[in-house]
Amino acid sequence: MQFIPKKIRPSILHVFVFAFFLILISIYVFSTGDTSMLIWGIPTLICLLLIPMGLTYLSQSQYADLIPMYETSAKEVKIREINESMVSKPIKIEGLVEEVRFRSLNRPHFIIGDRTGVTTVKMFTNPRSDIKKGDIVEVYGQVIKRYVFYGDPIVNGVDIRVTGKGENKTSNSSDKNRKKK
């Protein structure tokens, strides 16, 4: 499978760090007149953007290499069935995207619900397609604990694909299941 990266872009956090140091260097150069700062300042500013973008590219290519393995070995489960005994096991779930968090940090978390419950799918890189609230998705991933060593089991997403558009009815029933927990 040939890896074709999605548009690689820096996160909003990296842009703010870049802008902060650009302003500091500009203030220094304009207030002192010392342009020798630009000899190392400009390459450093460029690295502040290029290094995170390079790491994002590497993460996406690694995840793309894992997708075929997950497609063949993942067990299809309902969200209600996800438990601590499944930690480190590859799974496949289908459900409705109820919420998307941390997209601007290039580490999106998707709140996915089906008729049996709700779970979080953490992605450690941007997915190949644009996932929005209300999409019906298919997720391949691995069960992990929310906070590495403790917490409820959630899904570390390796691949997430849109399979359709959802209706509000499903979202409301999933909200009821969330409130029961």
State the pLDDT at residue 150: 83
Q: What is the mean pLDDT of the chain?
A: 86
Q: Which CATH class is domain 76-180?
A: mainly beta
**How many CA atoms, within 13 angstroms, populate the side-chain half-sphere of residue 14?**
21
Please state the pTM of the whole predicted model: 0.76
Per-residue model confidence as pLDDT tens digits over 30-58: 999 989 989 999 999 999 999 998 988 89
Q: How far apart are CA 77 and CA 140, in angstroms?
A: 11
pLDDT tens digit string along 117-136?
Answer: 999 999 988 888 889 999 99
DSSP assigned state of 111: E
pLDDT tens-place string over residues 17-29: 999 999 999 999 9
Q: 101: how many CB neighbours lie within 10 A of its CB? A: 13
Comparing CA positions, the residue from 42, 57, 54 lying closest to residue 6 is: 57
**Which stretch of DSSP H or E encloses residue 26?**
helix 12-32
